[in-house]
Amino acid sequence: MTLARSCASNTSDAGGARPEPYTDRMSHQEAATEPEMLTGQLHVYVAFDWGDEIDLERARRQGAGVVLDMLRRPRTPVSIAYRPPPLRFPLGPIMVAMPGLSGTPIHSAEATVFDFAGVSVALELPFSLTREELPLLASRLAEPTTALAVMQTARAILEPLYHKLLPAILKPSWTDHMWEEYFVFEFRPGPGVEPDALLGTHAGWLAGLLRLEDEPLSQQETTEALRLVLRYGLQDLFIPDWGAAVLVDREGESDETLQAVEFANLQLLEFRHIDQRIDDILAQSDDLLRRVSRSRLPAWRGHHAALRLLGELSVEANTLFERTSNVLKIVGDQYLARVYRLMATRFHLPDWEKGIQRKLEVLEGLYQVISDQNSTFRSEFLEIIVVILILTEILVSVFKH
């Protein structure tokens, strides 16, 4: 450094142009080539189903959970709330082996338990990556092996709580093949993540993050990925897609948005679960209907048992569907309601609801068919009894005379 300054002084004294010091040139080059670092939080949500129902009051006593109220901004009306409110349980601090974030400590790990036995694990991991590294992380999150690893990690974290709350669960059933994971990349407003720049200059990069892709996307795919955009303030941005969402919001202002995202992911799992349960019930119903159709005996006891079983299954499916659909009360065109509608659109929740409703109508139709056949068999049996009594009376009269 002394040599550089000395050479510069000698050149200046000689009347020549003063060259830029070497150290300054290096600093300018490094500044020009220094990669842009983006910091934020990666929110990982994994939803499970534990059974038919959970007694929340008993679960609160068993696991020392707290009642979760819907976090709200001043603009959010009190009509938007959980009914009944779920329980939130803090989980122990752990280290997570996430691809691209291996060894990163989790800032928070929590479990939210609903009365319909739906459970969501929320993990929050900090990241500080370059703009080029973030799509690589996103693409690794989309790999099936990563999804399985995320599920196994969340399940291992949740296992102690499940065993603790087991006495409060009605018909417990926790299968490995039924889960839903979702990722949210959250940034604070600042350089590099200005909403206008993300939607303009960095639109392709943003679409790749949402689609969990590290390869360049076509203009058509980019447009589709950025189709559902929600902005409340100039520095706010929320864009959901099927596998991930991007959220830019001020610290402390994003909690209610994240709650709506977490619930939509859990609701998708529950709709899948209900759809599968109804399929199983319909399969049983078909067997019952075939047995009833083949039967030619007017003995309605078997039909009555089948009818009762079908009625119980139908009530069970309808109850589970109603609980899942109505636990979050969202009315009005408020910000939180719009967040939920965007998530519901990406997850095709209205289509899931229509499909489930059609299957429930089929189930009710099968119940009506078996009920009608049961009534027909009973009427036929009574008619046979009446005929037998008439014949008996005739025979008795004949033999008496």
Per-residue pLDDT reduced to its tens digit, 297-353: 444 445 566 666 667 767 777 777 776 666 665 545 578 888 888 999 999 988 988
**How far, in Å, are 23, 170, 363 from residue 343 at the CA level?**
52, 30, 29
Position 180 pLDDT exceeds 70: yes
* Residue 15 covered by a domain: no
Residues 181 and 53 in one domain: yes
What confidence score (pLDDT) does residue 306 get? Answer: 62
What's residue 338's pLDDT?
87
Greater pLDDT, 29 or 41: 41
CATH number at residue 291: 1.20.58
Same domain, 210 and 319: no
pLDDT at residue 80, as a whole number? 59
What does the pLDDT read at residue 99? 61
Is residue 189 a part of any domain in this protein? yes
Is the domain of 165 the same as that of 271?
no
* In a shared domain, residues 363 and 344: yes
Tell me the C-alpha distance between 340 and 266, whole Å: 12
Q: Does residue 283 share a domain with residue 186? A: no
pLDDT at 7 over 50: no
Same domain? For 61 and 201 the reply is yes
- Name the band, by pLDDT with cuts 50, 70 and 90, for residue 250: confident
Domain boundary among 225, 255, 285: 255
Q: Residues 9-22: pLDDT tens digits?
A: 343 344 444 444 43
> In this structure, are 232 and 353 located in the same domain?
no
Last residue of a domain, one of 219, 238, 255: 255
The lowest-confidence range among 39-43, 283-287, 307-311, 397-401 is 307-311
Q: Are 226 and 327 members of one domain?
A: no
- Quote the pLDDT of residue 19: 43
Does residue 231 sit within a domain? yes
71 within a domain of the structure (yes/no): yes
Highest-confidence range of 79-83, 85-89, 184-188, 299-303, by mean pLDDT? Answer: 184-188
Residues 59 and 195 in one domain: yes
Range from 26-40, 62-76, 343-357 that averages highest in pLDDT: 343-357
Decide if pLDDT at 33 tops 60: no
Q: How many domains in the chain?
A: 2
The boundaries of the domain holding residue 287 are 262-398
> Has residue 85 been placed in a domain?
yes
Report the alpha-carbon distance of residue 186 to residue 258 in Å, rounded. Answer: 10
Q: Is residue 20 part of a domain?
A: no
Answer yes or no: do 237 and 328 share one domain.
no
Domain boundary among 224, 255, 286: 255
Least confident of 55-64, 143-152, 267-276, 321-330: 321-330
Determine, yes or no, domain membership for 17: no
- Please check whether residue 2 lies inside any domain of the structure: no
Q: Of residues 102 and 62, which shows the higher confidence score? A: 62
Shared domain for 193 and 276, answered yes or no, is no
Q: What is the pLDDT of residues 118-165, one digit of tens each?
A: 999 999 888 888 999 999 999 999 988 888 888 988 898 899 999 999
